[in-house]
Structure formats: structure tokens, C-alpha cells
Amino acid sequence: MNNQDLKKVGLKATLPRLKILELLETVESRHMSAEDVYKKLLEMGDDVGLATVYRVLTQFESAGLVSRHHFDGGHSVFELNQGAHHDHLVCDQCGKVEEFLEETIEHCQHKVAEKFGYKMTDHSLYIYGICPSCQKENKETDS
């Protein structure tokens, strides 16, 4: 079926592209860097080049299949576009990412853009913090 999805957005249904799509669909952590994807594919015995992973992810992004996020601290992570829009909560310590949706915030953002006369195209909201389990760990370590 993905075969068709790819063709629909103007991309040939090649092996690496299918593999990457499949990986993004099945993997538990929905937010992966290009490097992550590359390593995971190698682990699974699929032999794709790193350059291909970058290329394909970028193409997927242009095609609207995935979103790219720039979390603080360097490299970007990709996420399969499925389900509704949401923002992200990132743990500074373990890097865990959680998703949330706050209608009030979404609404306010539009109001702000409007107030300034901007035609809003996109927005990104990241909240950084220490997740509950890291907080617990920290307490145990401090002593």
C-alpha cells in the first residue's frame, strides 16, 4: 500500500524508501534522527547508505509524509505525520519526547500572528524540562 502512497507524492517506490517508511511506522519511538534510522536499518540487516537516509527523509518532508523538528542541541529528528497536530515536551536529561495538544495555545498563536498581520505558515513549540523518572533518579543519586 505504501507503494501507492509513494507514487502518489511523486516518488518512485524503491526499496530504501519503503524500508524507511516501514521503519517509521513500526518503531516504538516516534522521533528519530537520520542517524537513528540509519543504525536501525543496519541492525535489521537492510543495507542502505547514510546519504540515502538523509535524502529520503528530506524528500519525505517535502512530500509532507514526515515532519522535521529541531530540538535544542543540534541534530534534527523526524516524525511520521499521522494523527493530529501536536507540540512537544522534551526531557533535557534522557531526551524522551512526549506529545501534547493544547487548544488554548494553538488558538493564541493564531491570534498573535493575526495581531502582527502575519500570514501564519507554521509554528513550533517545545517545552524542555526534566521528566518525572529523571527527577526521581536525580534524587536517588544526590546523597
Partner DNA sequence: ATACTATTGATATTCATTGACATCAGTCAG
Partner DNA sequence: CTGACTGATGTCAATGAATATCAATAGTAT
For DNA (CB under 7 A), the number of binding residues is 25
Instruction: Give the footprint of DNA on residues 71-100 (CB under 7 A).
Output: 74-76
Task: Decide if residue 28 touches its own copies (CB under 8 A).
Answer: no
Cα-Cα-Cα-Cα torsion 24, 26, 28, 33, nearest 10 degrees, comes to -20
Instruction: Give the footprint of its own copies on residues 96-115 (CB under 8 A).
Output: 98, 100, 102, 104-105, 108-109, 111-113, 115
Sheet hosting strand 32-33, strand order edge to edge: 32-33, 77-80, 66-69
For its own copies, the closer CB: 28 or 103: 103
Q: What angle do CA 48, 49, 53 make, to 5 degrees?
A: 85
Task: Decide if residue 8 touches DNA (CB under 7 A).
Answer: no
Q: Candidates 43, 117, 140, 141: give the one binding its own copies (CB under 8 A).
A: 117
Stretch that binds its own copies, among 17-25, 30-38, 55-63, 122-130 (CB under 8 A): 122-130
Least distance CB 140 / its own copies (angstroms): 15
Least distance CB 75 / DNA (angstroms): 4
Long-range contact list for 27-36, CB < 8 A, 24+ apart? 29/97, 30/79, 30/80, 30/97, 30/99, 31/69, 31/77, 31/78, 31/79, 31/97, 32/77, 32/78, 32/79, 33/75, 33/76, 33/77, 33/78, 34/75, 34/76, 34/78, 35/75, 36/77
Q: Candidates 5, 16, 22, 99: give the one binding DNA (CB under 7 A).
A: 16
List of residues contacting DNA (CB under 7 A)? 3, 7, 11-17, 33-35, 47-52, 54-56, 58, 74-76
